[in-house]
Amino acid sequence: ESHKEFKDWFSNPVSGMVEGTENVNHEVIERLHSILRPFLLRRLKADVEKSLLPKIEHVVPCPLSKRQRELYEDFMSAHETRDTLSGGSMLGIMNVLMQLRKVCNHPDLFEERPICS
């Protein structure tokens, strides 16, 4: 029931406003703001960063696991990857780097394994 009420009150009217099929209804927007305001804390970065301590980074090198190393090498030796890198497209190169980043962060981000329980 509450989901249907929410859709009737907000989702349908707001969708219409976003899509341009309905005029902007400031009453609906104010009602949504009044309901969400207690759950949201809006702060500007300029205000918050003054109270934060300086950022400290510790770089801890760690070797890739066997699975990570195999995925990394297989991906780099794939014909499509080599074509992308030799093509010189900045977007393609960035995509290759993002895929390698997934392998390094956690191999399941790159290639999911079935969950065994």
d(C-alpha 15, C-alpha 31), whole Å: 15
Average pLDDT in the 99-104 region?
A: 94
Is the pLDDT reported for residue 98 higher than 70? yes
Is residue 103 scored above 80 in pLDDT? yes
Share of the chain above pLDDT 90, in %: 43
What are the start-end ranges of the H helices in the chain?
2-6, 12-19, 26-36, 45-48, 66-77, 79-87, 90-105, 107-110
pLDDT of amino acid 27 = 82
- The pair of structure tokens assigned to 46 is 């300029």
Nearest to 5 by CA among 35, 38, 40: 35
The domain limits of the chain are 2-50, 66-110
Model confidence pLDDT, tens digit, residues 5-47? 777 766 666 676 676 776 777 887 788 888 888 888 888 888 8
